[in-house]
Structure 1
Amino acid sequence: MEENYYQGPTRWLGLSSNLLSLFGFFLVGSFLGQFFGLLAVVALMEFPTQNIEAFQKLILDFIAHPQKYEGGFHAMMALQWFSALFTFFLGAWAYLRFIEKRSVFDLNRAEAPSFQVFSWAILTVLVGMPAMEYMIEWNQHIQLPAGYEDLEKAMQTTEKSMEELTKFLLNFQSDMDFALAVMVIAGMAALGEEIFFRGVLQSMFERYIGNKHVAIWLAAAIFSFIHFQFYGFFPRMFLGAFFGYLYVWFRSIWVPIAAHFFNNAWTLLMHYLYQKKNISIDPMEMVNSIPWWSALLSVVLVGFYIRRLHTYRTES
């Protein structure tokens, strides 16, 4: 990637134009994802559609409280699947196809990374989890300055709503529910979000701004913000930055996709094993039980594995 490829006003005009185009595809994809997702919800839940007003209230109530409805888990998974597919994957695909005249396959260089690269990337995510949990606990206790009480209250309301939805989606009633969650929450989320945020958005910042570090952290901040879970903003941003560096180092979108998939799938697996009573530690309570020395050791190990990854990068 060339540094400072674009100069002067041309750089900022080009960046603004491409950002607006990407945002447009994001909005269209989001609309279509919600549309087809809600069609799937109606089909799976067999909601009556004769009375439009009653139907609208039923849909809104389902989205707010899916746990009240039998079969709500599968319907909500379908909604999540279509939303991620259209918003991120197809949104990114359309931008690449119609604006940059490129293919998704162009996000990878010709030479594929070695198996060791994927292994070290996944191990880095694994050993970094205690530090992430410690950071989550810290982030949850952040208080805004005086005068921002209304904003803080709104953030807490949104956080509570997202937490309730997360608990619902992590409540597996069968092995099939777990497999479905892995496919949607780990598989589609990792594929779509990495292509959108690292393959397209981060690459755009890097190309126009000319500084890969600024590009990585900007994309990571937007990636974290778009989840609308503000009390987990900083750990998610750091995780997104790690995915960003993986993409810069190896120029293969499959490396951050693999790391992202593992991070989400591991969380799902821990909840599944706890519900099956194969482990005694509740993953939901783990954030409150991470000692400082465990987080410190985690940071040291992450540093070690990142150095290993960088070695593979410089050798390749």
Structure 2
Amino acid sequence: MPNSNRPLPLLDLPYPPGMVIALLLLLVFFCMLLGQGAILLTAWAAGYDLQTFLSSFNAMTGGGERNFFRLITLINHLFTFFVPALAIAVLLYRRDWLRSFQLDVRPEGRLLGLGALWIVLAFPLALLTYSLNKALPLPDWMVQLEDSTNSLIEGFLQMDSPWELIATLFVMALVPAIGEEMVFRGILQQNLERRLRSGVAAVWLGAVIFSAFHLQFQGFLPRVLLGATLGYLYYWTRNLWISIGAHFANNALQVLAAYFWGAEMAQLETEEQDSMPWGLVVGCTILFGGLAWHLYQITRSSSPEAIETQSFEE
């Protein structure tokens, strides 16, 4: 019988956590530079001046330009997250990389569904933290950077056909869900927990780093909440597929909202969110807390041995 008061144990990995984190940071920095070079080369081949293109990109931009922006966004994400994660897999984990990322276990359908529902229930809380975030004074350069980023997002979320919807779901929901979870939960949070010897501290420190990395300062607190929600899913289940599924659900719902109801409905940073009904916020907060407790209890009721029998390697 497992001890229901203790989390599932960490994997016993062979490399010191500090070394893994340092290598990850170096790889991310180096691969980001490579990615920028690849984007500049792609823009040159397509006949675009990248700086001019980005400064003029918005919701009124044409479909061809939107697809080009999706392409360079995909390139940026692959180099920033996938390539460093795969480099860690090849350099350190090798044949054991699936197990080391905790991707070798089939996710239980119930946990996938509950994880996705939990992150949806966090939306009103995210809006509340966004209101708090907006009340914080920010330097002008941060506000200008935020406005520029929002303009790019509005253009990205402008979709005039089902094909654009599919492409946007792939670039904005599926690819980030896998790549960011591999880096922030599969590598960073796991090794922070090994280094700090505290799963809760690793969840919240990882969430702060996750939010800071996105460089969207007016959405810093909501993204910390998102990162912590994903972090707890990974901490409780020790299965990266669960946090990947929840991350995908979070991003995909925003893309679908933009497609069916307009880009302004899908963004966290809109003015209308200040008028979010308090009854909805309180109700979702209660449901969010109740589901958190339920998830905690059902993951504590499973032993590591029982989970391991569902491995993909069977």
TM-score scaled by length of structure 2: 0.84
Inter-partner Cα distance in structure 1 for 2:255 and 2:275 = 19
Aligned residue number for residue 50 of structure 1: none
State how many pairs are aligned: 288
Could you tell me how far 1:293 is from its partner in structure 2?
2.2
Match of 1:173 in 2: 160
Question: Residues 129, 69 of structure 1: CA spacing in aligned structure 2 closer, same or farther, 3 A cutoff?
Answer: closer
Deviation of 1:241 after TM superposition, in Å, equals 0.8
Counterpart amino acid of residue 311 in structure 1: Q
Amino acid at match of 2:227: G
Kindly report the root-mean-square deviation, in angstroms, between the aligned alpha carbons of the 2 structures.
2.5
Amino acid at match of 1:211: S
Residue equivalent to 1:66: 57
Kindly provide the amino acid, as one letter, of the partner of residue 190 in structure 1: A
Which residue identity lines up with residue 28 of structure 2 in the other structure?
A: F
Which 5+ residue runs of structure 2 have no aligned equivalent? Answer: 1-7, 303-314
Q: Is the 8 A contact 1:217 1:241 kept in 2?
A: yes
1:286 deviates by 4.2
Q: Which residue pairs with 1:244 in the alignment?
A: 231
Where 1:143 maps in the other structure, the secondary structure is coil
Counterpart check, 1:155 vs 2:142: yes
1:292 aligns with 2:278: yes
Distance 1:313 1:245 in 2: 11
Distance in 2 separating the partners of 1:18 and 1:105: 16
SS at structure 1 position matched to 2:214: coil
Partner of 1:113, secondary structure, is: coil
1:103 aligns with 2:105: no
Match of 2:250 among 263, 269, 279: 263
Which residue of structure 1 lines up, in the alignment, with residue 310 of structure 2? none
- 2:33 counterpart of 1:34: no
CA contact (8 A) 1:127 1:301 kept: yes
User: Contact conserved, 1:182 with 1:268, CA < 8 A, in 2?
Assistant: yes
Say which of 170, 185, 193 aligns to 1:198. 185
- Which residue matches 2:199? 212
Q: Give the distance between the partners of 1:114 and 1:191, measured in 2 at CA.
A: 17
Deviation at 1:128?
2.0
Q: Secondary structure at the match of 2:215?
A: coil
Could you tell me how far 1:2 is from its partner in structure 2? 6.0
User: How far off is 1:78 after superposition?
Assistant: 0.7
**Pairing 1:124-163 to 2, within 5 Å after superposition:** 124-143=118-137, 152-163=139-150
Q: Percent identity?
A: 28
**Are 1:46 and 2:37 matched, yes or no?**
no
Q: Deviations over 1:234-280 (max 9, x none)?
A: 1111110111111111111111010000001001111111149xxx9
Q: Distance in 1 between matches of 2:113 and 2:164?
A: 27
Q: Identify if the C-alpha distance between structure 1 residues 27 and 193 changes in structure 2 by more than 3 Å, giving closer, same or farther.
A: same
SS of residue in 2 equivalent to 1:103: helix
Report the alpha carbon displacement of residue 104 of structure 1 after superposing the two structures with TM.
4.1
C-alpha distance 281-164 of structure 1, shift in aligned 2 (>3 A): closer
Counterpart amino acid of 1:139?
Answer: N
Q: Quick one: structure 1 residues 173 and 96, their matched pair in 2 at CA, closer, same or farther if it must change by over 3 Å? A: same
Pairing partner for 2:69 from 76, 79, 86: 76
Alpha-carbon distance between aligned partners in 1 of 2:266 and 2:196, rounded to the nearest angstrom? 44
Q: CA deviation at 1:112?
A: 2.8
Deviates more, 1:235-244 or 1:282-291: 282-291
Which structure carries more relative contact order (alpha carbon 8 Å, separation 6+)?
Answer: 2
